[in-house]
Amino acid sequence: NLQDTTTLNNGVKMPWFGLGVFKVEDGSQAVESVKAAIKAGYRSIDTAAIYKNEEGVGQGIREALEENELTRDDLFITSKVWNDDQGYESAIKAYEASLERLGLDYLDLYLIHWPGKDKFKDTWNALEKLYKDGKVRSIGVSNFHVHHLEELLKDAEVVPAVNQVEYHPRLAQVELLSYCKEKGIQLEAWSPLMQGKIFEIGELNSIAEKYQKSVAQIVLRWDLQNGVVTIPKSIKEQRIIENADVFDFELSDEEMNEINRLNKDERVGPNPDEFL
Binding site for ligand NAD (CB under 6 A): 20-22, 46, 113, 142-143, 164, 190-196, 214, 216, 231-234, 239, 242-243, 269
CA angle centred on 86, ends 148 and 77, rounded to 5°:
85
Is 51 part of the annotated catalytic residue set? yes
**Least distance to ligand NAD from the beta carbon of 47, Å?**
7
For residues 160 and 158, give the distance between their C-alpha atoms in angstroms, rounded to a whole number: 6
The type of residue at 134 is G
* Nearer of residues 123 and 143 to ligand NAD, judged by Cβ: 143
**Least distance to ligand NAD from the beta carbon of 187, Å?**
12
CB 122 within 8 A of CB 89: no
* Nearer of residues 134 and 213 to ligand NAD, judged by Cβ: 213
**Least distance to ligand NAD from the beta carbon of 54, Å?**
12
Catalytic: which of 42, 51, 110, 167? 51
Residue nearest to ligand NAD (CB): 20
**Least distance to ligand NAD from the beta carbon of 46, Å?**
4
**Least distance to ligand NAD from the beta carbon of 233, Å?**
3
For residues 197 and 24, give the distance between their C-alpha atoms in angstroms, rounded to a whole number: 18
Q: Could you write out the three-class secondary structure of the chain?
A: CCCCEEECCCCCEEECECEECCCCCCCHHHHHHHHHHHHHCCCEEECCHHHCCHHHHHHHHHHHHHHCCCCHHHCEEEEEECHHHCCHHHHHHHHHHHHHHHCCCCECEEEECCCCCCCHHHHHHHHHHHHHCCCECCEEEECCCHHHHHHHHHHCCCCCCEEEEECECCECCHHHHHHHHHHCCEEEEECCCHHHHHHHCCCHHHHHHHHCCCHHHHHHHHHHHCCCEECCECCCHHHHHHHCCCCCCCCCHHHHHHHHCCCCCCCCCCCCCCCC
**Least distance to ligand NAD from the beta carbon of 69, Å?**
26
CB 204 within 8 A of CB 215: yes
Q: Would you please indicate which residues are annotated as catalytic (active-site) residues?
A: 51
